[in-house]
Amino acid sequence: MVVRLVRALGPRRSASLANRVGAIAFALQRRDHKITLQNLEDCLGPETTPEERSRIAQQVFRNAALTTAESIGLSFWDKWKGWIEYEFDGVENLEAALSEGKGVICPNAHFGNWEVMSAMICTCGYPGNIVARPFKDPRLEEWISRVRESFGIQIIQRGKTPMRMVKKLRNGEILGVMIDMDTRSSRGIFVDFFGKPAYTQTGPFMLARRLGSPIVPALCYREGTNRLRFYFGPPWKVAKTEDVDADIHAAVLKATRDLEERIRERPEQWAWFHKRWKTRPEKFHLKRRE
């Protein structure tokens, strides 16, 4: 039904409707509303007022609604490609890393519109793969997978096919991974994120260390209702010393700090309604001992 509505309205009217839907969702989705404001207070409280946090939260919901509309628009891109404007920022960083022939790992986040970013990267001829956890609804998973694959995006199920990730990197391809969610992976560590310990996956950084693949931070900035900027940061590599744990911890911490810095610049574009700090160190370690 939502897909048909977006198709019927077209991009301009869908974007206008999404802006209103986001405002309504902020008012009515009390659970997510509460989580968003609490996370903003915990992380940005000392540097923002309650009024500023409320304004940021409303923009978060509007961005989420607009991102949904745009992502649906990918399924009939012929009607949307003239509406969405995008630019590459730092693409020379990505190309320099790809030129090494060891693949590239791009830490990303639920920021701006990550779905459109992935699609446009592949449309421009870059070999893109994303590591993703399947949706609970099989029909939704099938639809999203079909849309992604129509743009040449290869999907690798998180935690299921590690050797496929190795193969993609050895083929010199891009591996996009989200590092901003509370992962259920057994391969994770706690690192500081906005002053609180956040359980973060280590798998991508272990692969980067093992294969020598460069890390290129990637993020999509929303610069207007229909304008996106795809940012690629300077490439860096995971250290390879005799202390594996220290190397991985340093790499995860660096990627997390880089992301935090970006979110602080544009807090209204990150998905603050996620329970990023749900896994607590004391409960996690107790569970592991049991």
Q: What is the pLDDT of residues 25-53, one digit of tens each?
A: 999 999 999 999 999 999 999 899 999 99
Where does the pLDDT of residue 285 fall: very low under 50, low under 70, confident under 90, or very high at 90 and above?
low
Q: 286 to each of 198, 280, 281, 282, 290, how far by Cα in Å?
A: 16, 10, 8, 6, 6
Check pLDDT > 90 for residue 280: no
Strand partners, 107: 177
Count of CB atoms situated within 10 Å of the CB of 101: 11
Contact 112, 230 (CB under 8 A): no
Compute the distance between CA of residue 9 and CA of residue 15 in angstroms, rounded to an integer.
9
Strand partners for 92:
none
pTM of the predicted model as reported, rounded to 2 decimal places: 0.92
pLDDT in tens, 211-266: 999 999 999 999 999 999 999 999 999 999 999 999 999 999 999 999 999 999 99
Q: How many CB atoms lie within 10 A of CB 81?
A: 15
* Residue 58, helix vs strand vs coil: helix
